[in-house]
Structure 1
Amino acid sequence: MAWYALYTKSRVEKKVALRLKEQGITCYCPVSKKRKQWSDRKKWVEEPLFKSYVFVDIDLASQSSQVRQVNGVVNFVYWLHKPAVVQDSEITAIQNFLSEHSDVEAIDNVIKIGDFVTLDTGALAGQKAEVLGFKNKHEVRLRIESLGFELVAYINQS
């Protein structure tokens, strides 16, 4: 048994997780609570943290075909021509992080100190700049190595 990442059709992550659970397959669809505003109201909604991804804890040899047949599943996520294995510790870290923070997002292009970026807007648009540091101290970050993502939670200081 190991955790694997599944790629799903767009915007059906929670439905795929429900279908997998109905078939007795252990799965995890991490969701982040976000405050959405419509013209007439504000509401907290749960959105999948990783768009088009669901994680399953299965025996690949015996359950992979069953997982692939679930409506909404496109395929396993592959790394080096094999289904990508996600470590138990990383799933636990995601679960713990989401239990402590609400407004969380996954960023797939991690910018680090020393990286070079190209400015998109403003008077210096098109210019390259080196990242020297970060000023915002209202962020908590957790890097998930095998997925290539960094989770960012914005902490409200009021």
Structure 2
Amino acid sequence: MITNKTPLWYAVHVMPRWEKKVYTALLEQHIETYAPLQKRLKQWSDRKKWVEEPVIRSYVFVKITRKEYFPVLNTNGTLRFVSFEGKPAYIREEQITILRNLIEQNIEIEITTERFEPGDKVEIASGPLIGLKGELIRHNSSKKVLIRLDNMNESFLVTISPSLLTSSNG
């Protein structure tokens, strides 16, 4: 539950591609907010351009007390608070600090909804190794995992982004 006195961080689900608009609207209401953005080089058929994109699409973070709950929800583009068991789920200050530090250091962040553990059977879903199956050996970081590929009766260790993997049944 959102407390009366101590402001805590919460994730707010916003309309697709509205992260910057909601961020600006919340700041105008003097609500502490954070929308993690990262510069990425985008390429079109006729040009390349550096653009700021949300690291976590359709979400912004707010640090609020109970009295700011409804002003956040009533902000144009806001859909709902991320909840657990029917209550808005708070995010520890340390997690927001870590996310800010990663972005400030220009560490490229990729978000994946897949949860992989050592020993899981995985398949490479895209990239030059598409279709190869293997076993997850370990997580090197939040960005890379190490997998063993057992094709051609040889074992290869490959470091790859988790966003390129899917679960495999064998």
TM-score by length of 1: 0.75
Displacement of 1:133 in angstroms is 4.7
Deviations 1:124-145 (A, max 9, x none): 96x97532357xxxx8537xxx
Deviations 1:27-80 (A, max 9, x none): 000011111011222111110011110000000x21111110000000100012
SS at 2:142 equivalent: strand
Displacement of 1:25 in angstroms is 0.5
Structure 2: gaps spanning 5 or more residues: 1-6, 144-160, 162-170
RMSD over equivalenced CA pairs, Å: 2.6
Aligned to 1:145: none
Displacement of 1:16 in angstroms is 0.3
Structure 1: gaps spanning 5 or more residues: 143-151, 153-158
Aligned to 1:78: 83
TM-score by length of 2: 0.70
- Residue 87 of structure 1 pairs with residue 92 of structure 2: yes
- Residue 54 of structure 1 pairs with residue 60 of structure 2: yes
Query: Distance between the aligned counterparts of 1:91 and 1:52, measured in 2?
Result: 17
Query: Distance between the aligned counterparts of 1:46 and 1:55, measured in 2?
Result: 17
Equivalenced residue count is 136
Aligned to 1:115: 120
Query: Distance between the aligned counterparts of 1:24 and 1:114, measured in 2?
Result: 47
Aligned to 1:156: none
- Residue 69 of structure 1 pairs with residue 74 of structure 2: yes
Aligned to 1:21: 27
Identity %: 38
